[in-house]
């Protein structure tokens, strides 16, 4: 394992000027004539969020020698708009009652408004991308939106599917999550007019980071502190979403336990005691440990993807982010 020297808090503070510029860009672009669009979009954007995708773009651009502030701020805004659109849609699909510690937009304005404002944000992102006037950036972003939609559809296809394989699970998360995280890094390299070999290294780093990120997210669903997570535990189980810790336990538990687990999957009415028993079983079978190890493996591979870059503050920052995604608690 490659050790990193830079701490995650340092990474955020190192880039706070550009991160603030991206926040300003987001607010500047959110000026629809239709008040409901601004209200719903502003609400979710103001509700927080780690802004990890814009941060990855900034660092990747810098690593490749790119410093164009206008391009970086616009790129960061585009990524956050796409991400926000997917969250609006995701909360409708998942029937979520909580997002970032507060009520999701769908609870306040309804599912229809959430879907339509999500569509608006997707389209806004793509219309801003055209202004960047880089053919490669446009194709990469459009392909990513397609992949993300495919990921959500594939996931829907396998809802409540007790026989979901680890391989198909990995395909789902690569599409729905890792594609945008990968593109955040690649987009930074494209903005910097980096050579193809650097584009490819950052694309691959971002993909592996994104895989680690989603596997960790899926594991946090069974082990996090509710308040820190800003979402409720056990949601995936309730929604019938089959994720890595669940796949592992289903493949390793006794028949009698499998029958009990089957009854819980997709069951809206299970009790806190059931969740506790489930988490205890997952701990006993090493399912949480297994998923965390898989996340750690992806994080280690992400670091190896940066082998071709010489040591620098920015490379170390990307290492720190690779550690952060598997150690985070929210
Ligand atoms: C949430 O992404 C959706 C997933 C891909 C798991 P983030 O964890 O980046 O969400 P925010 O923006 O920080 O709330
Ligand atoms: C991430 O999946 C969805 C997106 C990529 C939008 P989840 O459904 O696991 O995300 P959370 O847990 O609701 O944030
Ligand atoms: Mg969700
Ligand atoms: Mg989740």
**Ligand 1 site, residue 217, Cβ cutoff 6 A:** yes
Q: What is the mean pLDDT of residues 106-122?
A: 98
Residue that wins the pLDDT comparison between 178 and 10: 178
Q: Give 227 Cα–ligand 3 centroid separation in angstroms.
A: 17
* Range with the poorest average pLDDT among 136-140, 153-157, 191-195, 230-234: 230-234
259 CB-near residues (< 8 Å, 6+ apart)? none
Name the nearest CA neighbour of 182 among 151, 146, 211.
Answer: 211
Does pLDDT of 62 surpass 60?
Answer: yes
Q: In 3-state terms, what secondary structure has residue 125?
A: helix
Output the residue whose Cα is nearest ligand 2's atom 12: 217
Q: How far is CA 63 from CA 56, 57, 286, 309, in A?
A: 10, 10, 38, 8
* Range with the poorest average pLDDT among 20-34, 227-241, 243-257: 227-241
**Ligand 1 site, residue 50, Cβ cutoff 6 A:** yes
Q: What is the mean pLDDT of residues 67-82?
A: 97
227: pLDDT confidence band, cut at 50, 70 and 90? low
Does pLDDT of 231 surpass 80?
Answer: no
**Ligand 2 site, residue 106, Cβ cutoff 6 A:** no
**Ligand 1 site, residue 49, Cβ cutoff 6 A:** yes
Does pLDDT of 216 surpass 80?
Answer: yes
Helix 196-223 and helix 179-191: axis angle, to 10°? 150
Say if residues 282 and 288 touch (Cβ distance below 8 Å). yes
Q: Give 287 Cα–ligand 1 centroid separation in angstroms.
A: 23
How many whole angstroms separate alpha carbon 99 and alpha carbon 109? 14
Amino acid 271: pLDDT = 75
Does pLDDT of 106 surpass 90?
Answer: yes
2: pLDDT confidence band, cut at 50, 70 and 90? low
How many whole angstroms separate alpha carbon 190 and alpha carbon 142? 15
**Ligand 2 site, residue 94, Cβ cutoff 6 A:** yes
Q: What is the mean pLDDT of the chain?
A: 94
Does pLDDT of 169 surpass 80?
Answer: yes
Say if residues 302 and 317 touch (Cβ distance below 8 Å). no
Say if residues 298 and 212 touch (Cβ distance below 8 Å). yes
59 CB-near residues (< 8 Å, 6+ apart)? 11, 15, 188, 314, 317, 318, 321
**Ligand 2 site, residue 323, Cβ cutoff 6 A:** no
Residue with tokens 């550690």: 323
Amino acid 282: pLDDT = 95
Phi-psi region of 193 (alpha: psi -120 to 50; beta: other; left: phi over 0): left
Q: What is the mean pLDDT of residues 136-165?
A: 96
Amino acid 228: pLDDT = 66
What is the CA angle 205-84-105, rounded to 5?
Answer: 145
Does pLDDT of 1 surpass 60?
Answer: no
Q: What is the mean pLDDT of residues 189-198?
A: 97
**Ligand 1 site, residue 52, Cβ cutoff 6 A:** yes
115 CB-near residues (< 8 Å, 6+ apart)? 88, 89, 92
Output the residue whose Cα is nearest ligand 2's atom 3: 90
How many whole angstroms separate alpha carbon 298 and alpha carbon 294? 6
> What phi, psi does 66 have (nearest 5°)?
-90, 130
What is the CA angle 102-104-107, rounded to 5?
Answer: 115
Q: What is the mean pLDDT of residues 85-101?
A: 94
* Range with the poorest average pLDDT among 111-125, 237-251, 268-282, 283-297: 268-282
Which bound ligand lies closest to the C-alpha atom of 214? Answer: 1
Say if residues 41 and 84 touch (Cβ distance below 8 Å). yes
- Ligand 1, closest atom to CA 51? 12
202: pLDDT confidence band, cut at 50, 70 and 90? very high
Amino acid 218: pLDDT = 96
Does pLDDT of 270 surpass 90?
Answer: no
224: pLDDT confidence band, cut at 50, 70 and 90? low
Say if residues 291 and 215 touch (Cβ distance below 8 Å). yes
Phi-psi region of 133 (alpha: psi -120 to 50; beta: other; left: phi over 0): left
Q: Give 217 Cα–ligand 4 centroid separation in angstroms.
A: 5
CA 279 to chain centre: 23
Among 44, 47, 84, 87, the mutation site with the greatest number of ligand 2 atoms within 8 A of its Cβ is 87
Q: What is the mean pLDDT of residues 74-86?
A: 98
Amino acid 4: pLDDT = 63
Q: What is the mean pLDDT of residues 191-195?
A: 97
What is the CA angle 259-159-156, rounded to 5?
Answer: 175
3: pLDDT confidence band, cut at 50, 70 and 90? low
Q: In 3-state terms, what secondary structure has residue 102?
A: strand
Amino acid 273: pLDDT = 87
113 CB-near residues (< 8 Å, 6+ apart)? 36, 40, 105, 106
**Ligand 2 site, residue 177, Cβ cutoff 6 A:** yes
């Amino acid at each position: 394992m490659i050790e990193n020297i830079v701490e995650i808090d340092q990474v955020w503070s190192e880039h706070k000027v550009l991160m603030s510029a991206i926040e300003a860009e987001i607010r500047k672009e959110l000026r629809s004539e239709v008040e409901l669009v601004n209200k719903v979009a502003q609400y979710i954007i103001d509700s927080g969020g780690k802004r990890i995708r814009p941060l990855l773009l900034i660092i990747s651009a810098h690593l490749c020698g790119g410093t164009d502030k206008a391009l970086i701020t616009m790129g960061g805004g585009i990524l956050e708009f796409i991400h926000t659109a997917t969250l609006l849609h995701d909360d409708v699909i998942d029937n979520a009652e909580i997002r970032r510690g507060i009520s999701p937009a769908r609870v306040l304005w309804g599912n229809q408004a959430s879907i339509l404002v999500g569509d608006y944000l997707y389209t806004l992102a793509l219309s801003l991308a055209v202004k960047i006037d880089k053919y490669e950036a446009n194709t990469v972003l459009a392909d990513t939106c397609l992949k993300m939609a495919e990921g959500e559809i594939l996931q829907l296809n396998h809802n409540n599917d007790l026989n979901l394989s680890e391989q198909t699970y990995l395909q789902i998360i690569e599409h729905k999550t890792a594609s945008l995280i990968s593109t955040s890094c690649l987009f930074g390299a494209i903005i910097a007019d980096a050579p193809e070999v650097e584009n490819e290294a950052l694309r691959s780093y971002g993909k592996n980071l994104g895989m680690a990120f989603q596997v960790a997210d899926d594991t946090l669903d069974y082990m996090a502190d509710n308040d820190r997570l800003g979402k409720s535990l056990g949601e995936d189980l309730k929604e019938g979403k089959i994720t890595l810790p669940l796949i592992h336990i289903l493949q390793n538990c006794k028949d009698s336990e499998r029958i009990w687990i089957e009854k819980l999957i997709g069951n809206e009415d299970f009790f806190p005691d059931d969740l506790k028993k489930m988490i205890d079983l997952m701990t006993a079978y090493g399912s949480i440990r297994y998923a965390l190890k898989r996340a750690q493996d992806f994080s280690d591979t992400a670091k190896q993807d940066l082998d071709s870059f010489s040591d620098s503050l920015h490379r170390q920052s990307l290492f720190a982010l690779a550690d952060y995604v598997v150690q985070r608690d929210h």
